Amino acid sequence: MSGINQDKIWDHVDDRQDAFTAFSDRVWETPELNFAEQKSCETHSEMLVSEGFRVTRNVAGLPTAVMGEFGEGGPVIAILGEYDALPGLSQQAGVAEKRPVETGAAGHGCGHNLLGAGSMLAAAAVKAWLEETGQPGRVRYIGCPAEEGGSAKGFMVREGLFDDVDVALCWHPAPLAAVNTPISLACNELLFEFEGRSSHAAAAPELGRSALDAVELMNVGVNYMREHMPSSARIHYAVIDAGGTAPNVVQAYAAVRYLVRARELDDLIPLVERVRKVAQGAALMTETKVQDRVLSGDANLIGNTPLETLMHAQLERLGAPEFDDADRAFAADIRKTLTPEEIRAAFARFGVEPRMDVPLCDFVVPLTQGTGASVGSTDVGTVSWVVPTVQVRGATYAIGTPGHSWQLVAQGQSGIAHKGMIHAAKVMAATVRDLFEDSSKIDQAKADFTRRRAGRPFINPLPDDVQPDFPKAAE
């Protein structure tokens, strides 16, 4: 591959950096939750049109999903974006103290305003390169809603959106620059609803059958179960309806949400069934009835060594992001709000020795350095079961910043965030360019994918009868 092309793909990113940082900032200013990302999706659609992509809306039947495609013939490479926010994390930009824009409102506490913009920036740079070179191939930007508990990509997989895709790429904001260690937890989120019988709690308590008692007994049962499940598994719950506020009425209805996680998809399904049995036992003890339904679900990530090696080579060639004195000063202010434990944990997650005097990433994490500690779940995992997939971590915030925090929201429009986003876009764009120029690299990725999937049947954690949990306004 020529040196001119090696540099030119990055030039195409640089040519668009001002437009795309402004684009990211616009999405930051309109934080929206799962499947309610109307403004964010429209902003993405408008940007795709302005960049000359062929645009498809309502992708996979999801009203806030959008896809842009460019190119003809050749392989199909998809770059995945996200743009959903988180509840209760409203925060003013550029302020190193907790100061909501609107108390209780949403905020981009996982950096998805950057994620979508950075992925589309990479796709736009690849589009420009395809136009310039005449190289056969199709690049797709897929704007994915509802990663934060909505599992949109799982619905996209179920609808066959990735059936003709050869390779998928993504990235995520992070404290350090690295190829993502492909470890995540498979998960299912379920709603358990208990139905009992109300009565006067003093005059006729024997006539009541408390749904709230059933929820409490279920929670106790699951807590006892924790001793007897894999150490890497996680179970969380939230009581979403306690049956009312009157203690003199036996609660006839109560509901609890459970999030069940396991390291492997094969381990998730039996763990979910055990939780269901605990719920049935709680219903039996209280003479209530219980119904449950799956709300969302993600598979665990499957890695791909050829793709990770290829992406890491581009990351090494590019080097660490270049932050300036203003970036370091703001990062130092943010660090004052963090604990030493949070800072050390940020390094530990990447398998790197802590450097307590370094507020921003100034190095590239070695390949496969991540430990798999402190992992969560992502619907990118479901994609990785049906197509070879790779992700890069982009250094976009002060080291030690907790995910899903006001501190992360505060940095979402900063120079740190913008530089890290552009850096990640260059890594992705150059990786895609290499795949288009040398199809044997795609063949190697597919061979690795086939080897890893051998003897491991894919069961989508979203059964066919599960529908997206659209908000009322989107129905």
Domain boundaries defined on the chain = 3-182+301-453, 186-298
Identify the three-state secondary structure at position 331.
helix
Give residue 469's pLDDT.
86
Whole-structure pTM value = 0.94
pLDDT in tens, the chain (475 residues): 334 445 799 999 999 999 999 999 999 999 999 999 999 999 999 999 999 999 999 999 999 999 999 999 999 999 999 999 999 999 999 999 999 999 999 999 999 999 999 999 999 999 999 999 999 999 999 999 999 989 999 999 999 999 999 999 999 999 999 999 999 999 999 999 999 999 999 999 999 999 999 999 999 999 999 999 999 999 999 999 999 999 999 999 999 999 999 999 999 999 999 999 999 999 999 999 999 999 999 999 999 999 999 999 999 999 999 999 999 999 999 999 999 999 999 999 999 999 999 999 999 999 987 666 668 999 999 999 999 999 999 999 999 999 999 999 999 999 999 999 999 999 999 999 999 999 999 999 999 999 999 999 999 999 899 999 888 654 4
Give residue 53's pLDDT.
98
Give residue 375's pLDDT.
84
What homologous superfamily is domain 3-182+301-453 in, according to CATH?
Zn peptidases (3.40.630.10)
Q: Which residues contact 249 (CB under 8 A, 6 or more apart)?
A: 198, 199, 200, 201
> At residue 264, what is the residue type?
E
Strand (E) or helix (H) holding 212: helix 211-225
CATH class of 186-298: alpha beta
Return the sign of the alpha-carbon dihedral for residues 325, 331, 334, 339: negative
By CB neighbour count within 10 A (0-12 exposed, 13-18 middle, 19+ buried), where does 181 fall? buried
Q: Which residues contact 243 (CB under 8 A, 6 or more apart)?
A: 210, 211, 212, 251, 252, 253, 254
Query: In 298-349, which ranges are continuous DSSP H helix?
Result: 305-318, 325-335, 340-349
